[in-house]
Amino acid sequence: AFDENPAPCSSNRAVVALCHHFCRHWTSANATDEELELRKAALDVATREAQEAAGAEVVRVVLDMQEELRRSTHLDRLADRKSPGQLVSNLLRNTSGQAKAAAEAAARMRDELLAPLLGGDRAAEVYWVCHGCSWLEQNRYDYESALAGRLTGSRDGYLRDAKA
């Protein structure tokens, strides 16, 4: 049961939950409509809690930075694919360049927007939490969607990386 007046969430826990739920919401492939609604609801709750604990401006910057990091990890993984069709697509779309640009945008947000709000050391810590959440979700997604890897066992590396 939920408490009538739950204890306020610490800003650290609120930001970690926010990053986690944002990454789950961003990864919508293979999700049912109900799962998408649940992910959206969880993100809304995490956003409200983080705004109460850390402030609306910090949350806005963290979400923008998290989006760029999640985009970067997704594109970085796509750029690493070896199938002939994906290689051609990567060359035409400059997938690795897009991944690098997204990572650089996130680093700029950390330095130019988040550091003035939180201080340099704390902004760096938040950045690495966001970075870790992005890779956790990417590895989880790759593990869940590795169809051939289910037969060969090659998908197990994604699960090990997600748990690391």
- Sign, CA dihedral 156-140-103-33, equals positive
DSSP string for 43-66: HHHHHHHHHHHH-HHHHHHHHHHH
Strands (DSSP E) contained in 2-161 are none
- Would you write out the chain's pLDDT as a tens digit for each of its 164 residues? 334 545 556 788 888 888 888 888 887 766 788 888 888 898 999 999 999 999 999 999 999 999 999 999 999 988 887 778 888 887 888 989 999 999 999 999 999 999 999 999 999 999 999 999 999 988 888 887 777 777 777 777 777 877 77
pTM: 0.81
Tokens of 133: 């959440």
Render pLDDT for 38-53 as a digit per residue (tens, 0 to 9): 888 989 999 999 999 9
